[in-house]
Chain A
Amino acid sequence: AQSVTQPDIHITVSEGASLELRCNYSYGATPYLFWYVQSPGQGLQLLLKYFSGDTLVQGIKGFEAEFKRSQSSFNLRKPSVHWSDAAEYFCAVGARAGTASKLTFGTGTRLQVTL
């Protein structure tokens, strides 16, 4: 069974500072990997995804993530954080299968941005 670990429950960064959110996964084969963002009381918005190919993927809002198979990681990065980035971030792994993949989510990292 797949699993996702987000070690950081809460992170605070200053506006303009760089950001890295950690995500480690466990899955027996090459996984589908996703990062979603959730604002309070809202649904989830897809930031980026990795299926195959280039291990550095670019997403929306200036986010990027790097798939490192040797470390079973898929960390999310942003070079300069904006106050509007404050939200909950979820990493998810999808099981590759013939039918639609089921996602397993991490517990989330809450990002706070100070001005």
Chain B
Amino acid sequence: GAVVSQHPSWVICKSGTSVKIECRSLDFQATTMFWYRQFPKQSLMLMATSNEGSKATYEQGVEKDKFLINHASLTLSTLTVTSAHPEDSSFYICSATRQQETQYFGPGTRLLVL
């Protein structure tokens, strides 16, 4: 149990376009989902916390207008990178909680902006 999926697993896009990444909890209802960004050979940086039916809470320094997060149901959260630029290229990972304490992570989405 506690399986989290992400789609797509990798995406290449042109600079200026928008990209949507989906995060799904497959076998449990997740009241809270988190979005992280990971640069090569570095740790995970929390971008935002997403609660079902409410606005996401963004970490300091994360542009909410650039990284749009929607948590429309208890099993789905989406991250949209708007007007993507090469510096947005990264590995994006989501996690979901079915209890308050333990986060279960998705496999990640690698974004490359040309």
Contact = CB atoms under 8 A, between A and B. Distances in A.
Interface string B69-111: 0000000000000000000000101010100111111111010
B101 A51 contact: yes
Given A99-B32, A100-B97, A102-B34, A42 B107 contact: yes
A95 to B, nearest CB: 10
Given A90-B44, A107-B42, A101 B101 contact: yes
Interface residues of B, number: 25
Contacts of A43: 4, 6, 93, 105-108
B25 interface: no
Of B4, B44, B105, the most chain A CB neighbours within 10 A belong to B44
Nearest to B91: A41
B43 A94 contact: no
Contact of A108 (B34, B43, B51): B43
Contact of A107 (B6, B43, B49, B104): B43
Contacts of A90: 43-44
B99 to A, nearest CB: 8
Interface residues of A, number: 24
Of B6, B31, B32, B43, the most chain A CB neighbours within 10 A belong to B43
B112 interface: no
Nearest to A36: B105
A100 B100 contact: yes
A41 B51 CA distance: 27
Contact of A49 (B34, B102, B107): B102
B61 to A, nearest CB: 15
A101 to B, nearest CB: 6
Nearest to A39: B107
Nearest to A107: B43
A71 to B, nearest CB: 22
A102 B49 contact: yes
A22 to B, nearest CB: 15
A106 B49 contact: no
Interface string A75-107: 000000000000000100010010111111111
B71 to A, nearest CB: 12
